[in-house]
């Protein structure tokens, strides 16, 4: 570009040169844009997927569920919103109805608990 200022070429010659550069770069640009779109679509799809895991109830209180994995290890806490669907043996329940030892399946979507399904023997 600086060379054009110091040693200017005729406008037509520069336009032809720019057009040739654009034609050679266009496939690279389009390929890069396509790759970014595909990666973004796949990433958003995986982040938005619901995920669930199962275990046993350690304790349950208003707005909070403490559970462990099926082996009784890896204890962790979930915050439970008032709008979260909670069931016990297939019937609507409150999170406070759950007791220590109940089998539980927690469904999470975008980092928020959307469903808690517990069963009691």
Q: Average pLDDT, whole number, for the chain?
A: 84
Burial class of residue 53, CB neighbours in 10 A (0-12, 13-18, 19+)? middle
User: Confidence band (pLDDT; 50, 70, 90) for 9?
Assistant: low
Q: Rounded distance, CA 112 to CA 42, Å?
A: 20
pLDDT of residue 30: 80
Q: What are phi and psi of 102, to 5 degrees?
A: -60, 140
Residue 3 has pLDDT above 80, yes or no: no
60 DSSP assignment? E
Outline where DSSP puts E strands in the chain. 51-61, 64-69, 76-79, 85-88, 91-92, 103-109, 112-119
Domain segments of the chain as ranges: 2-48, 51-119
Give the residue with greater pLDDT, 106 vs 31.
106
Is the Cα dihedral 97, 101, 107, 111 positive or negative? positive
User: Confidence band (pLDDT; 50, 70, 90) for 27?
Assistant: confident
Mean pLDDT along residues 45-51: 62
User: Confidence band (pLDDT; 50, 70, 90) for 39?
Assistant: confident
Residue 1 has pLDDT above 60, yes or no: no
| pLDDT one-digit tens code per residue, 81-104 | 999 999 999 999 999 999 999 999
Residue 57 has pLDDT above 70, yes or no: yes
Q: Tell me if the domain spanning 51-119 has CATH number 1.10.287.
A: no
Alpha carbon of residue 110 to chain centroid:
6
């Amino acid at each position: 570009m600086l060379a054009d200022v110091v040693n200017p070429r005729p406008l037509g010659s520069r336009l032809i040169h720019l057009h040739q550069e654009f034609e050679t770069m266009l496939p690279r640009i389009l390929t890069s844009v396509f790759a970014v779109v595909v990666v973004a679509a796949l990433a958003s799809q995986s982040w938005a997927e619901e995920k669930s895991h199962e275990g046993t109830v350690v304790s349950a209180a208003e707005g909070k569920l403490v559970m462990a994995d099926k082996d009784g290890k890896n204890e962790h806490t979930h915050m439970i919103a008032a709008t979260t669907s909670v069931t016990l043996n297939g019937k609507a329940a409150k999170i406070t109805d759950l007791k220590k030892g109940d089998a539980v399946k927690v469904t999470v979507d975008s980092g928020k608990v959307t469903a808690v399904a517990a069963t009691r023997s």
